[in-house]
Structures are given as C-alpha cells and as structure tokens.
Amino acid sequence: MTSLGTFSGRGRRHLLVHPWSLGLLGILLVFGLWATISSLGVVDQLFLPSPAAVFLAGQEQLAQGQLVADLVASIRRVFGGFALSALVAIPLGIAMGANTTLCRLLEPLLGILRYMPAPAFIPLLIIYFGVDELPKILLIFIGTLFFNTLMIMDAVKFVPSELIETALTLGGKRADLLTRVIAPYIIPQALDAFRVNMAAAWNLVIVAELVAAEDGLGKRISLAQRFLRTDQIFLGLIVIGIIGLLIDLGFRMLMRRRCSWAQ
Amino acid sequence: MDLILDGVCKSYPQSRGSLAILDDINFSIHTGQFVALLGSSGSGKSTVMRLVAGLEFPSNGRITFDGLPVGGPGSDRGMVFQKYSLYPWLTAAQNVAFGMELQGLPRLEVRERTAYFLEVVGLRDAGGRLPRELSGGMQQRIAIARALAAQPKLLLLDEPFGALDLQIRESMQEFLYQLWQQTGLSVLLITHDIDEALLLAQQIHVLAPRPGRIVRSLMVDFDHGDMMALRLSTPFLERRQELANGLRQLDGTLT
Ligand SMILES: Nc1ncnc2c1ncn2[C@@H]1O[C@H](COP(=O)(O)OP(=O)(O)OP(=O)(O)O)[C@@H](O)[C@H]1O
Ligand SMILES: [Mg+2]
C-alpha cells in the first residue's frame, strides 16, 4: 500500500501500479492471445479450442451437475488427505524441532522419503487398498507429510532462545513453552508451509484421479482425452487453477487476519 | 545475604580441552542492593547473568540464592535480555501479564497489576500496541515491567539500554534509578558503559576478559538527587576518568 504513495497524484498510474490490477493484466494478456490465435483460425480447433467453446463446455457440465460433483469429489480428497497430513505433521514437526535426539533419528529418514516422488507410490497404494477413496487420500497424505513436517520442524528450531528463556525466568514450566511460546511463534510459518504444500496436494489428487477414479476433475480430464474433447481438458485445467488460486488467497487472508504481528 | 557467587568458573568444551570463559568469580548481592558488573565485550558478563538466572550451570563453584543452590530458572530472579525479547504476537499489556498468567494468578489480579506496572514504566496508553509498534526504549520498558510484574526478588539486567541512543539511554537510566528506589529490589546490572555503572550502582565489579575474572571492586556513593548535575560533577568525572584508565590498561595488557 505504501509503495503507492509516490504515485497518488495520478489516478491512472495508481491503478496500474496496484499489485492486483497488474496481475489481472497478465492473465488478460494471455487470455487475449489465446482468443486472437483461435479466432484467426491458424490452429486446428481440435488442438486449440476457442474460449467460447471452453465456456460452453463449462455451461454444459454445470447444467448436468457434473462440474460440481467433480469439484466436490476432488476437494474432499485434497482436504481429507491434507488434514490428515497436518494432524501428524504438527505434533511430529514440533517434537523434532524441540528434541535433538528425535530430530537426529528421523531427519535423514524424512529427507530420503521426501525425495521419493509420491506418484510412484500409486501402484503400491492400489495393490494395498484398491481403487477407493482411501488410496487417494493416503497419496496426498504421503505426498505432503514430509514437507509439512520438515518445514514445521525448521520453524520450531528458529524460535529465538530469548523468548524461551524469558518464559522460564518468568516462572514458566516446560509444558508452558510449547503452548504459550513455540505454538504461537510458528503459526505464521506453519500456515505458509501449508499454503505452499497445498499446491502439491492438488497436483497429486489430479494424478491419482487420472490413474484410477470414478469421479473428480482429473477423471474428467482423462475421459475428455479419450473423446478428444480438448475444450473439456482446457475447462478442467482452468478450474483447477482457479481453485488453487482461491485456496492460496484463503491462506493469505487467514494469515493477514490472524498473524498481523508477523507481517 | 541474598545472592552469593562462590568461586564460580565456567568453561565450554572444545575440540581439544576446554575454553575457560569465567575464572573464580566471587561476589554477593544483599537484599535491596544495586550491583553493576562492568566489562568490555566478550568478557563474560552475559555468562555470569545466565548462570545466576539458572539458564546455565557453573563448571566449578557454587551459586546460592537465599541460602539455596541455584538449580534452574525461576521467577524469583527476573531477567531482562540484551536483545529485545517481547513476544511479538502479544500486545504490550499481554506481555506484561505473561509471567503472572504463567504463575496462575487470578484474572482480576493480573489485570490490576498489569495496569499498575504499565503505569510504573510510564506506558499506560501503549498497552494495546504490538511490540513492533513500539520504539526500542518503550520495548525495553515493557520488558522491565514484565519482569517486575512477575515479582522477582532479584532483577537481572543484561545491558538493557545498550541498543538505545544516548538521549533515551539517559532518561532510561534515570527511570531505572527511580524504579529501584521505589521498589527496593535487588538489582544486578550488566554494562560496558562506565557512566551507567557509576550513576546507578552502589557497588561495581570490573570484569577482565579471557578468561572473565573480577579484577577490581569498588563502592560508589554519589548524591543521586540530581542525576543530570551528577553526570557533570567533578567527583563523578574524576572517578570516571580513573575507571576508564584502568579499563584501558586491562585491554592494553591483553593485546
Ligand atoms: N555456548 C558457548 N560455547 C562456547 N563459547 C561461548 C558460549 N557462550 C559464550 N561463549 C563465549 O564466552 C565469551 C563471553 O561471552 P558473553 O556473552 O558472556 O560475553 P559478554 O561480556 O556478555 O559480551 P557482550 O558485551 O558482547 O554481550 C565469548 O568469548 C563467547 O564467545
Ligand atoms: Mg552480553
């Protein structure tokens, strides 16, 4: 906001410099390019559907109720898997950050697991758990757990020692440190870690649905491929992008509301 | 007798042998006394304070407080750190209340005492502000209020005004002196500022570096009625000059 101060005398500059309007401009530019190319007819409609065709595909799927059903299915998987991952990562990350022995024991292990690409677990998960919801939720769990844990662990490690020691000299017990110093201190960084790793969760749910699913945005895309419906593929991609952006913004808003001190 | 350090040594293990940080530190602080530890950077001042606070333990020697050996940190020894150490997510008032809440005081009492100590440090109107919205001097005053509100018997101050500019530092020194007179607390002040030690303390121990050891102890009894005038008075300036020469010699013999 303050960076606008220097331009405040000139309305048009002002609007252009606003971070949101510039971002919107970037999006509109690409959209415009897309619309122009497809209206010139230089690329086959099959490869590059027009914006209107994609819009129509969206209308059709909305009317059938399919779009909403797919959305709900995908979102449920993402949130289920991610909630499970956060539920384990928060206590585990805090414990590893606060306890050197535990950290030395588990950090190399998590470091290795983190580098195993989560989609490579899909065959195993299918063998173990079939093609129901459970393997998809577990995939997201596996794919985000190690990152979430290590990022929370790092946040805990960097809690300034003065804050810990002050609590001790004010009569605090060990248990107080966790709830009254460490937890509040790491909340902004934990939220940020979740925001970043949520993107991975979205990638994974689509991958899982491409491989084996009854419904979901990924499933719709893979069906569209079978019928060469590029308009539906475009639609799926755009919807996924928009949902991701909304989740990102949601996390940022939560952060601004709850952690104004860390800004 | 309140606090007694008896033959306290501290060393840290190193790849070969160990590094001596403090060597045979002896001094004591009576109830209500204001003692300063004066030494250059790296002489081990903070280490002495951390030992007294119970955040670390001596390699040798004993520290007793009210007749009992110091076994860990406790609210009877309040501490204000060299660096600003307010909880950034709590308002000034919540920071002051922090220790009282840890000790489980009734809510009403916490509220009353918070208001009282905000008043004592002259920041009644800043209670609702976050630390980042406070100046450095205000932050350190809140940190002092927070330490006081936890009802310590001994206040440990580790270069509390070191990061403040000269003018604010002088007014903070006057503030601290008045506070000490009002409350009758025992205070251990750590500083590398000769003026500060001479102005505030009744007794000064000079710490020489590598390893940290007390090379000189002196009693101070100036008339503190007018601190501004005291800063410029001849006896004060003479004492200051003499101490400064002593410290310079200490550094000279080491380099
Ligand atoms: N944990 C540690 N391990 C090894 N050496 C340490 C440790 N803590 C402190 N030291 C060393 O002890 C010496 C004294 O440190 P200390 O912080 O007590 O000095 P100080 O007088 O407070 O200095 P300053 O005025 O800069 O704050 C320094 O040389 C420091 O490097
Ligand atoms: Mg120090």
Query: ipTM of this model?
Result: 0.89
Alpha-carbon gap: A9 to the closest alpha carbon of chain B (Å)? 28
Atom 26, ligand 1: which residue's CA is nearest?
B41
* Inter-chain residue contact B89 with A172, CB threshold 8 Å: no
- Whole-angstrom Cα distance, residue A11 to residue B122? 44
pLDDT of the residue at A260: 86
Looking at B74-207, list the stretches that DSSP marks H as alpha helix, in order from N- to C-terminal side.
92-102, 107-120, 136-149, 166-183, 194-200
pLDDT of the residue at B17: 84
pLDDT of the residue at A13: 63
Whether residue B22 is contained in a domain is answered as no
Total domain count, chain B: 1
Give the pLDDT confidence of B88-138 residue by residue, as tens digits: 999 999 999 999 999 999 999 999 999 999 988 889 899 999 999 999 889
Total domain count, chain A: 2
The pLDDT mean for chain B works out to 90
**Which chain B positions have a beta carbon within 8 Å of A259's beta carbon?**
89
pLDDT over 70 for what percent of chain B?
Answer: 98
Q: What is the CATH number of the domain that holds A165?
A: 1.10.3720.10
**Strand-strand pairing, B213-219 and B203-208:** antiparallel
Residue range B55-81: mean pLDDT, rounded: 93
Q: Are residues A137 and A216 in the same domain?
A: yes
Lowest mean pLDDT among B63-67, B82-86, B205-209: B82-86
Chain A CA closest to residue B94: A180
Q: Which residue from B55, B98, B132 is facing A170, i.e. has the nearest CB? A: B98
Q: Are residues A253 and A157 in the same domain?
A: yes
Domain range enclosing B125? 32-57+67-251
Give the pLDDT confidence of B127-150 residue by residue, as tens digits: 999 999 999 889 999 999 999 999
Peptide bond into A49 cis (omega under 30): no
Instruction: Answer for the pair B202, B222: CB distance below 8 angstroms, yes or no.
Output: no
pLDDT of the residue at A8: 46
Give the pLDDT confidence of B145-173 residue by residue, as tens digits: 999 999 899 999 999 988 788 888 888 89
* Inter-chain residue contact B87 with A165, CB threshold 8 Å: no
Q: Are residues A194 and A75 in the same domain?
A: yes
Whether residue B232 is contained in a domain is answered as yes
Domain range enclosing A234? 49-262
Q: Which atom of ligand 1 is nearest to the CA of B82?
A: 27
**Strand-strand pairing, B34-39 and B18-29:** unpaired
pLDDT of the residue at A5: 46
Q: Which residue from B81, B103, B130 is facing A166, i.e. has the nearest CB? A: B81
Q: Are residues A195 and A82 in the same domain?
A: yes
Q: Are residues A236 and A168 in the same domain?
A: yes
DSSP state of A181: I
| pLDDT tens sequence for chain A (263 residues) | 444 444 444 555 666 677 778 888 999 999 999 999 998 888 888 889 999 999 999 999 999 999 999 999 999 999 999 999 999 999 999 999 999 999 999 999 998 998 999 999 999 999 999 888 999 999 999 999 999 999 999 999 999 999 999 999 999 988 899 999 999 999 999 999 999 999 999 999 999 998 888 899 999 999 999 998 999 999 999 999 999 999 999 999 999 988 888 87
Q: Are residues A112 and A146 in the same domain?
A: yes
pLDDT of the residue at B121: 85
Higher pLDDT, B200 or B246: B200
* Inter-chain residue contact A171 with B102, CB threshold 8 Å: yes
Gap between the terminal Cα atoms of chain B: 38
**pLDDT reading at B255 higher than 50:** no
Alpha-carbon gap: B87 to the closest alpha carbon of chain A (Å)? 7
Q: Are residues A97 and A227 in the same domain?
A: yes
Q: Which ligand is nearest to the CA of B50?
A: 1
pLDDT of the residue at A7: 45
**pLDDT reading at B224 higher than 90:** no
- Whole-angstrom Cα distance, residue B171 to residue B80? 18
Among B55, B44, B53, residue whose Cα is nearest residue B9:
B44
Atom 14, ligand 1: which residue's CA is nearest?
B44
Q: Which ligand is nearest to the CA of B158?
A: 2
* Inter-chain residue contact A166 with B89, CB threshold 8 Å: no
**pLDDT reading at B42 higher than 90:** no
Q: Are residues A87 and A195 in the same domain?
A: yes
pLDDT of the residue at B162: 84
Q: Which atom of ligand 1 is nearest to the CA of B192?
A: 25
- Whole-angstrom Cα distance, residue B1 to residue B29? 7
Atom 3, ligand 1: which residue's CA is nearest?
B12
* Inter-chain residue contact A171 with B53, CB threshold 8 Å: no
Alpha-carbon gap: B237 to the closest alpha carbon of chain A (Å)? 36
Pocket residues: Cβ below 6 A from ligand 1 = B 12, 21, 39, 41-47, 82, 192
Give the pLDDT confidence of B2-34 residue by residue, as tens digits: 899 999 999 999 888 889 999 999 999 999 999
**Which chain B positions have a beta carbon within 8 Å of A180's beta carbon?**
98, 102
pLDDT over 90 for what percent of chain B?
Answer: 62
pLDDT of the residue at B10: 94
- Whole-angstrom Cα distance, residue B232 to residue A224? 88
Q: Are residues A18 and A90 in the same domain?
A: no
Q: Which residues lie closer than 8 Å to B146 by C-beta, 6 or more apart?
A: A166, A170, B86, B95, B96, B98, B99, B117
Q: Are residues A108 and A220 in the same domain?
A: yes
Q: What is the CATH number of the domain that holds B179?
A: 3.40.50.300
Q: Name every residue in A having a CB less than 8 A away from some CB of B.
A: 160, 162-163, 165-173, 176, 180-181, 184-185, 187, 259-262
Q: Are residues A66 and A18 in the same domain?
A: no
- Whole-angstrom Cα distance, residue B148 to residue B176? 12
* Inter-chain residue contact A169 with B74, CB threshold 8 Å: yes
Whether residue B246 is contained in a domain is answered as yes
Q: Are residues A59 and A32 in the same domain?
A: no
**Strand-strand pairing, B60-65 and B68-69:** antiparallel
| C-alpha distance from residue B160 to each of A13, A123, B139 (Å) | 47, 61, 10
